[in-house]
Amino acid sequence: MEIRWTKHAEDRQKEWEKKRGVTRQEVENLLMNPEQIVPGDQGALVAQVKRKGGLLRVPFVETEGKRKILTVYWTTRVKGYWKEEQDADPI
């Protein structure tokens, strides 16, 4: 699967690498093997993984077998974003 980065996503990843050590490879690995995918805003999907007491989230859109990363961020609001099994949609 091909992964494409927006300029915004690249910039955000670099910021989170300085703050929390989030590498480009980690983001791409997450996108290829997410712990969970949940619906996002405006038709986007969000790949996410629990990480170091928080949640790494990668909103993306998928078209023709390609995933375009819209942004990257880490949050402590795990309960607000994480969907338990009965709430999560299998994607």
pLDDT, residue 83, reads 87
Secondary structure (DSSP) of 9-66: HHHHHHHHHHHH---HHHHHHHHHS-SEEEE-GGG-EEEEEEETTEEEEEEEEEETTE
Read off the tokens for 8: 């915004």
Which are the contacts of 88, defined by CB distance < 8 A and separation ≥ 6?
36, 38
pLDDT, residue 81, reads 86
pLDDT digits (tens, 9 = 90+) for 11-58: 999 999 999 999 999 999 999 999 999 998 888 999 999 988 899 999
User: Which run of H or E residues covers position 77?
Assistant: none
pLDDT, residue 49, reads 93
SS3 8: helix
Set out the domains of the chain in order of their start, with CATH numbers: 2-81 (3.30.2310.20)
This prediction has a pTM of 0.86
Read off the tokens for 1: 């699967």
